[in-house]
Chains A and B, each alone.
Chain A
Amino acid sequence: MTRRCEETIVRIYPDDEMKTPMHMSMGQEAVAVGVCRALGNNGDVVASYRSHATYLAQTEDHGSFFGELHGRVNGTADGKSGSMHLADIPKGMLGSTGIVAAGIPVAVGAAFANKQNSPGRIAAAFFGDGATDEGVFWESLNVSCAMGLPMMFVCEDNDLAVHTRKSHRQGFNSLVEVVKKYRCSVYEDDTNDVESIYAMTRSAIAQIIAMGTPAFLNVKTYRYLEPCGTTMDSDAPYRRAEEDAYWKGRDCVALQRARLLANGLAEKDVVAVENEINAAILASVAAAKAAAHPTPQQLYYGVFYEAP
């Protein structure tokens, strides 16, 4: 569903009706889907600006998603948030932030509150490998380990921060080895396979609950499109052809589709589900286009809290 939503964005973005910068998840969806499915209804998540997959996996709501991207009143925030700040707090999607790493401490605070008020509920921060350059990442890791919080760090490791690779940014060889020195459990995955990420997250959750300490998940993955925008930039100077081919050869959606068929599902049944998803997405896009634009007065609403 996430992939189809983003394919739809790629197709209709040139119509220029969604005037919001797009940081696309395409290629990386298995991380959000695997982790959010494993959390089930018992997790709170905070995403980076690369928020589409996390938002869709956590809320399964492409209606408000397309409403927001179109800047209409049926969006998550009447168009005020656009693509970068998607949130649905009742569904445990606490927010998405355009400031790299700034959402991580928010998840730590949620973990603290959950520990007191919702035992068994886990807070997860999604962030890129670039975010681990920021001081607040290390402070968040330290605080959660020192306080023993039910917190899950999910590093979506695509090796890139915009166009700069980890090797140019990091003065150590392995983030995972460094994090292992903290009082938390550390997991790694490089399969881009949603079921493997799901299983790993289930173990991490069990460990968080059993030990009362955080977990750190380093999930290797690959971003297909440009850092911000909807075009495939395979020819850009920072790309490497072999790497591109390797990851596109283990596309997470293709892997899962092949698995379903191998497990005995008929092609026509898979196609039927895909068609159903596509039709629902098209209905969401149509609903967004039909929804009203916010009125000028709406600019002034919401600066301070108002009772719903």
Chain B
Amino acid sequence: MRRLSFAEAIRECLFQEMERDPSVIVYGIGVPDFKGIFGTTVGLGEKFGPQRCFDTPLSEDIMTGFALGAALKGLRPVHIHIRTDFLLLAMNQLVNMISCHNYMTGGHTPVPIVIRAIIGRGWGQGAQHSKSLFNYFTHIPGLKVVAPATPRDGKGLLAAAIRDNNPVVFLEHRWLHWIEDDVPEESYETPIGVAQTLREGSDLTIVATSWMVIEAVHAAKILAGVGINVEVIDPRTLAPMDMAPIIASVKKTGRLLIADYDWLNSGLSAEIAADVGVACFGRLKQPIERVGFAPTPCPTVRTLENHFYPNAETIVRMAEKMLQRAPMDLSGVDFFSHERRFRGPL
């Protein structure tokens, strides 16, 4: 099979979906430009023309309500934001209008909208260009929220999102764009709402979101070296969350560590912990633990940024604590950074 980067997989999916279905339109600030949202939209404008792929004024709010109107009249809009932070300008349309439109109109109204936004760490992006905000979206009934971590899932879940008759928020981490993996050439759907177990293990279950999936698999490999067997589960869809495999896994291992790519406070990780606490009451050998962002705005300077973001090392240390192991020597281990890119596959 061919290897594609995550960015190429997203781009291929957009091409195939626009070819398959003339009602799909793709737009957003900078979408048809020559840099094309980290390369994911390059060439779409040339191929499909300005009616179907277009740039917009810097007007996130109107262009979100616009998606609802277009969707009600038969189009399938994909609205792209180069940072999830900019989506905050459109929260009124997303939360007050789009998310509940089907409900308010009797339950039979297709609202096929995809909001794609790039999340997370870049390079000194600071407090206003780096958020994830998973829980902002997962909190809202009526929104599906997807956060793939592999090129194959990126392509399949985006196709599923575009074909879904509900609004889907599609969140992709910037560093994932570099990852390469085998990606089928033909068009396919990866079902929304289905988790994937990436590694089996008996000592500890790690549920990881978005970029933390990469870090969790890295951590699992390190921990395997000292005989700790970690099961890594990628929910892939954050809402609705596929809890069954997570619960089954925790019943097996008795230990759960949630590695969320977000703040912990009132976050998605707390939600997963609450569900597992109910379902696995009496089966847990250890309290559930979580790792995520530091409870601060994101600083720009690298030295503090490194303490703000969790990585494989944070996960290893927490796993050791949960298994009452002494901290191992990690001095020779290379962790991923902007300069030391992980290119995959997992």
Say whether chain B's binding surface is mostly helix, strand, loop, or mixed.
loop
Binary flags per residue of B180-197, CB closer than 8 Å to A gives 1, else 0: 000000000000000000
Complexed CA–CA distance, A98 and B299 (Å):
13
Q: Given A162-B30, A162-B33, A169-B57, answer yes or no on A98-B302 (Cβ-Cβ < 8 Å).
A: no
Closest to A164 in B: B55
Closest to A129 in B: B58
- Residues in B neighbouring A294, C-beta threshold 8 A: 301, 303-304
- Residues in A neighbouring B304, C-beta threshold 8 A: 71, 78-80, 294, 296, 298-299
- Residues in A neighbouring B325, C-beta threshold 8 A: none
Complexed CA–CA distance, A238 and B89 (Å):
27
Contacting pair B300 A135 (CB below 8 A): no
Whether A42 is near chain B, meaning CB under 8 Å from some CB there, is no
- Residues in A neighbouring B89, C-beta threshold 8 A: 99, 134
Closest to B54 in A: A168
Binary flags per residue of B79-119, CB closer than 8 Å to A gives 1, else 0: 00000011011000000000000000000000000000000
Q: In the complex, identify which listed stretch (A81-89, A112-120, A190-198, A205-213) lies at the interface while the others stay far away.
A: A81-89
Whether A257 is near chain B, meaning CB under 8 Å from some CB there, is no
Which B residues from 25 to 68 make CB contacts under 8 A with A?
Answer: 29-30, 33-35, 55-62
- Residues in A neighbouring B129, C-beta threshold 8 A: 84, 98
Q: Which of A71, A85, A133 contacts B128 (CB 8 A)?
A: A85
Contacting pair B296 A134 (CB below 8 A): no
Binary flags per residue of A281-297, CB closer than 8 Å to B gives 1, else 0: 00000000000011010
Instruction: Report the minimum CB–CB distance from B63 to chain A (whole Å).
Output: 10
Contacting pair A299 B59 (CB below 8 A): no
Whether B125 is near chain A, meaning CB under 8 Å from some CB there, is yes
Whether A300 is near chain B, meaning CB under 8 Å from some CB there, is yes
Whether A259 is near chain B, meaning CB under 8 Å from some CB there, is no
Closest to A169 in B: B57
Contacting pair B300 A131 (CB below 8 A): no
Whether A236 is near chain B, meaning CB under 8 Å from some CB there, is yes
Instruction: Report the minimum CB–CB distance from A229 to chain B (whole Å).
Output: 11
Complexed CA–CA distance, A84 and B125 (Å):
9
Binary flags per residue of A255-273, CB closer than 8 Å to B gives 1, else 0: 0000000000000000000
Whether B126 is near chain A, meaning CB under 8 Å from some CB there, is yes
Contacting pair B124 A299 (CB below 8 A): no
Whether B284 is near chain A, meaning CB under 8 Å from some CB there, is no
Contacting pair B299 A300 (CB below 8 A): no
Q: Given A99-B128, A133-B58, A296-B307, answer yes or no on A163-B296 (Cβ-Cβ < 8 Å).
A: no
- Residues in A neighbouring B56, C-beta threshold 8 A: 169
- Residues in B neighbouring A84, C-beta threshold 8 A: 126, 128-129, 300
- Residues in A neighbouring B57, C-beta threshold 8 A: 133, 169-170
- Residues in A neighbouring B297, C-beta threshold 8 A: 80, 303
Whether A186 is near chain B, meaning CB under 8 Å from some CB there, is no
Whether B295 is near chain A, meaning CB under 8 Å from some CB there, is yes
Complexed CA–CA distance, A303 and B88 (Å):
21
Whether A40 is near chain B, meaning CB under 8 Å from some CB there, is no
Closest to B85 in A: A99
Q: Which of A83, A134, A163 contacts B58 (CB 8 A)?
A: A134
Binary flags per residue of B118-138, CB closer than 8 Å to A gives 1, else 0: 000011111111000000000
Q: Which of B33, B60, B125, B294 contacts A299 (CB 8 A)?
A: B294
Complexed CA–CA distance, A240 and B142 (Å):
46
Closest to A298 in B: B304
Q: Which of A98, A131, A293 contacts B303 (CB 8 A)?
A: A293
Instruction: Report the minimum CB–CB distance from A173 to chain B (whole Å).
Output: 15
Complexed CA–CA distance, A303 and B127 (Å):
12
Contacting pair A79 B299 (CB below 8 A): yes
Binary flags per residue of A126-149, CB closer than 8 Å to B gives 1, else 0: 000011011100000000000000
Closest to B34 in A: A237
- Residues in A neighbouring B127, C-beta threshold 8 A: 80, 85, 98
- Residues in A neighbouring B58, C-beta threshold 8 A: 100-101, 130-131, 133-134, 161, 169
- Residues in A neighbouring B86, C-beta threshold 8 A: 99
Contacting pair A82 B296 (CB below 8 A): no
Instruction: Report the minimum CB–CB distance from B291 to chain A (whole Å).
Output: 15
- Residues in B neighbouring A80, C-beta threshold 8 A: 126-127, 297, 299-301, 304
Whether B178 is near chain A, meaning CB under 8 Å from some CB there, is no
Which A residues from 64 to 81 make CB contacts under 8 A with B?
Answer: 71, 78-81
Q: Which of B62, B126, B296, B302 contacts A85 (CB 8 A)?
A: B126
Q: Which of A81, A162, A164, A168 contacts B300 (CB 8 A)?
A: A81
Contacting pair B61 A98 (CB below 8 A): no
Q: A98-B128, A99-B85, A134-B58 are known contacts; what are 19 more A-B pairs with Cβ within 8 Å? A: A19-B301, A78-B301, A79-B300, A80-B126, A80-B299, A84-B300, A98-B129, A99-B86, A99-B89, A101-B58, A130-B58, A131-B58, A134-B89, A164-B29, A164-B55, A294-B303, A296-B303, A303-B295, A303-B296
Which 10 pairs of residues, A with B, have the shortest CB-CB distance?
A79-B301, A82-B300, A71-B301, A133-B57, A133-B58, A98-B128, A80-B299, A20-B124, A169-B57, A19-B302
Chain A residues packing against B (C-beta within 8 Å) = 19-21, 71, 78-85, 97-101, 130-131, 133-135, 161-164, 168-170, 236-238, 293-294, 296, 298-300, 302-303
Interchain residue pairs with CB less than 8 A apart (20) = A19-B123, A20-B300, A20-B301, A21-B124, A71-B303, A71-B304, A84-B128, A84-B300, A85-B127, A98-B85, A98-B129, A99-B86, A100-B58, A101-B58, A133-B57, A163-B34, A237-B34, A296-B303, A299-B308, A300-B294
